Amino acid sequence: MNLFSMWKNKIAKQRVNTLNEVNEQPTPARSSRTFGWKSGLSLVMMSTFLITTACGSPSSGSTPAAASSSTGAQTTASSGPVEIEFWYGLGGKLGDNMKKMIDDFNASQKDVIVKGVVQADYDETTQKLQAAIAAGQVPAAVLSSNVEWAKKGYYAPMDQFISADPDFKKDDFVQTFLQQGQVDGKQYFLPMYGTTQVMYYRKDALKAAGIDPSSLTTWEALSAAAAKMTKKSGSKTTFYGWEPMWGADNMIDAVLSKGGSILSADGKTVTIDTPEWTSTWESFRKWIHDDSIMTIHSGGQGWEYWYKTIDDVMKNKAAGYTGSSGDQGDLDFKIVGAMEQPGWEGVGQGKPVANAIMAGIPAQASPEQQQAAFKWLTYFSKASNTAQWSMNTGYIAVRQSALQDEKFKAFSAKNPQIEVPLKQASHASPPFQDPTGGKITDALKVAADQVQINNVPAAQALAEAQKKAQQELDRANR
């Protein structure tokens, strides 16, 4: 299995879009997983460039944006169904599954036709939506969400549609996911699927080392197992005991599991330099650089680092890795198994983040298109459909009743790995809502690179990040 050779065709995983800063007009997002965008462009230069890309040819397999429509979606107001565009940054098997869901929806009724427009990834979806908003040529629905944009009126609230839909059944949604789409008491986004990062391990590697995966419930136990499974030739490691995923996310999960927080309870102090943070991140630095029992892949284009990490495990170069619940569609579970993220000795079970990947309706879409978009989004979240999505991808179903779906029950009996992210989500942490518009998140990304790539002591990297983040928080609070 060579996932790296296919990564360009499978460039979609879940994780949260964070924006650097939101001004009166949208500005380009920055993410540790999207590179090549240069900051500091003037709004005029940015808008000119992004409008060109947004209205040009999207990635292979997509439907071109309808330049003739003032909202980017063709409609037939006089007769026939309402045609709308749905933008999403999913490729590979995820993209195939989304295309099938769209086709099934179109075949299920005659009122709405959804035309899928494929973007490279979540961040590109956000970037092109920024341009579309500036140009007044928005899709009717988009697999993207942003709290600050909702507050500024770029997204339409869905409450009127929800109250008029007797089949919506708000209580049936996984509440932590539904609540993530609420802004100032209004429902601006609907969860399409949930994700959390879990652990995947080679069954043969653990068996050869005499390690029971059920015993790896703490990071102390996992690091000891990684040390036991690591193989070296001289000073060079030839087989790694574990591979965390590049970036701050894995290490933040581990901090939350130790009881750490990003902000104080009153929201006035950044708390990323506490002992929970420094001890946890220093452990990762030590495992990667001093002990050489773990490693990361960093840089590259798009999701290249992600698939290199998976490839190491599938090519028998590492015993396991930490990755998305959505990786399950790419993995061979005859070779690998799945388990929850560990906690820490004396603290308790892990509390990694469980995040909802959400969709919204741009406010510039016409009322007719907004209604059509809502119909499409709620179709996706039907119990049988969200259950099918979970079975096909490994992502978490957003409706509780999906667990009672007969097909899902039969599938989980044969594929127990599908239940791992569901179980982890039951005791997970909510995603961080950055009150600075992404500045605290950016500071953590820089600190993570310092620790993981540059071998900077965690205390130093986090102290620098805390100082910068606190300045941004103080500015935001003023």
> 163 with 201, same domain?
no
Q: How far is the CA of 203 from the CAs of 193, 334, 414, 433, in angstroms?
A: 28, 8, 17, 37
Neighbours of 179 (CB within 10 A): 13
Supply the CATH number for residue 312's domain: 3.40.190.10
Number of domains present in the structure of the chain? 2
Most confident of 32-41, 55-64, 68-77, 158-167: 158-167
On whether residue 1 sits in a domain, the answer given is no
Q: Are strands 189-202 and 354-360 parallel, antiparallel or unpaired?
A: antiparallel
Q: How far apart are CA 69 and CA 85, in angstroms?
A: 11
443: containing domain:
196-354+432-477
Asked if the model's pLDDT at residue 174 lies above 80, the reply is yes
- Alpha-carbon distance of 239 to 68, in angstroms, equals 56
Q: Which residues make Cβ contacts (< 8 Å) with residue 180, sequence separation at least 6?
A: 189, 191, 355, 356, 358, 430, 431
In 427-462, which positions are buried (b, 16+ CB within 10 angstroms) versus exposed (e)?
Answer: ebbeebebbbbbbbbbbbbebbbbbbeeebebeebb
Dump pLDDT digits (tens) for 269-317.
999 999 999 999 999 999 999 999 999 999 998 789 999 999 999 999 9
**Are residues 215 and 274 both part of a single domain?**
yes
Verify that 225 and 285 share a domain, yes or no.
Answer: yes
Q: Are residues 345 and 360 in the same domain?
A: no
Q: Are residues 161 and 67 in the same domain?
A: yes
**3 assigned to some structural domain:** no
Q: Tokens representing 139? A: 């899709």
Question: Are residues 364 and 334 located together in one domain of the fold?
Answer: no
Count of all residues that appear for the chain in the document: 478
**Domain-located, residue 304:** yes
**pTM for the full predicted model:** 0.72
Burial class, 185, CB count within 10 angstroms (exposed 0-12 / middle 13-18 / buried 19+): exposed
Question: Higher model confidence: residue 267 or residue 1?
Answer: 267
Q: Any bridge partners for residue 115, and if so which? A: 85
Beta bridge pairs of residue 194: 356, 396
- What is the arithmetic mean of pLDDT over 18-33? 34
Stretch among 28-32, 380-384, 433-437 having the lowest mean pLDDT: 28-32
Q: Tell me the pLDDT tens digit for each residue of 112-121.
A: 999 999 998 8
Domain check: are 205 and 285 in the same one?
A: yes
Give how far Cα 224 sits from Cα of 98, 214, 291, 293, 348, Å.
41, 14, 11, 9, 18
Q: Are 437 and 212 in contact (CB under 8 A)?
A: no
Task: Please work out, in degrees rounded to the nearest 5, the angle formed at the alpha carbon of residue 259 by the alpha carbons of 475 and 458.
Answer: 65
pLDDT tens digits for 367-381?
Answer: 999 999 999 999 999
**Residue 5 belongs to a domain:** no
- Let me know if residue 2 belongs to a domain: no
Same structural domain for residues 208 and 186? no
Q: Is residue 94 part of a domain?
A: yes
What is the model's pLDDT at position 39? 31
Over residues 30-53, the pLDDT tens digits come to 333 332 322 332 333 333 333 333
Q: Clarify whether residues 285 and 412 are in a common domain.
A: no
Mean pLDDT throughout 381-394?
Answer: 94
Residue 4 lies in a domain: no
Same domain? 304 vs 381: no
pLDDT in tens, 337-361: 999 999 999 999 999 999 999 999 9
Same domain for 43 and 145, yes or no, is yes
116 and 16 together in one domain: yes
